[in-house]
Amino acid sequence: MAQEFTRHGLWFSLHFLVSMETLMQELTLTNLETVPGRDIVRHLGLVQGNTVRSKHLGRDIMAGLKNIVGGELKGYTELLSDARDEATDRMVEEARGLGANAVVNIRYSTSSVTAGASELYVYGTAVVAE
């Protein structure tokens, strides 16, 4: 019984290690149709990630003030780049789920769903490259 348990535990930790390894594996993201210096062996289909964000009041007030003197609205810049990172993470998750090791031909796009909120969308093709 104990032996079986240990064997089971060993198998489990091995399995865990393997899945960790695939998780840690670097996923190459490019917006070209190829992976530079490597060959694409298989196309796994379209993967996408999105997030809808709205700006918050504090930032809005700051932006209103900044509107008088002009210049960069840092709060919004950060907000949008964080949101894009999150959308990218979601796309990467989806690509990992398909067993891809690269996503090619990535495109970013922005659309506004409703007043004061915008959707950040990123999509690409998951591939296996060697």
Binding site for another protein (CB under 8 A): 28-38, 55, 63, 66-74, 76-77, 80-81, 84, 106-110, 112, 115-116, 118
- Please say which residue, 44 or 79, places its beta carbon nearer to another protein: 79
- Which amino acid, residue 17? L
What's the min distance (Å) between Cβ of 82 and another protein? 11
47 near 88, Cβ under 8 Å? no
Burial of 105 (0-12, 13-18, 19+ CB in 10 A): middle
Q: At what angle do helices 57-69 and 74-97 cross, to 10 degrees?
A: 130
Query: What's the CA gap between 20 and 16, in Å, rounded?
Result: 6
- Please say which residue, 52 or 80, places its beta carbon nearer to another protein: 80
What's the min distance (Å) between Cβ of 107 and another protein? 8
What's the min distance (Å) between Cβ of 124 and another protein? 9
- Please say which residue, 19 or 130, places its beta carbon nearer to another protein: 130
Query: What's the CA gap between 27 and 91, in Å, rounded?
Result: 11
- Please say which residue, 2 or 32, places its beta carbon nearer to another protein: 32
Token duo for residue 8: 């089971």
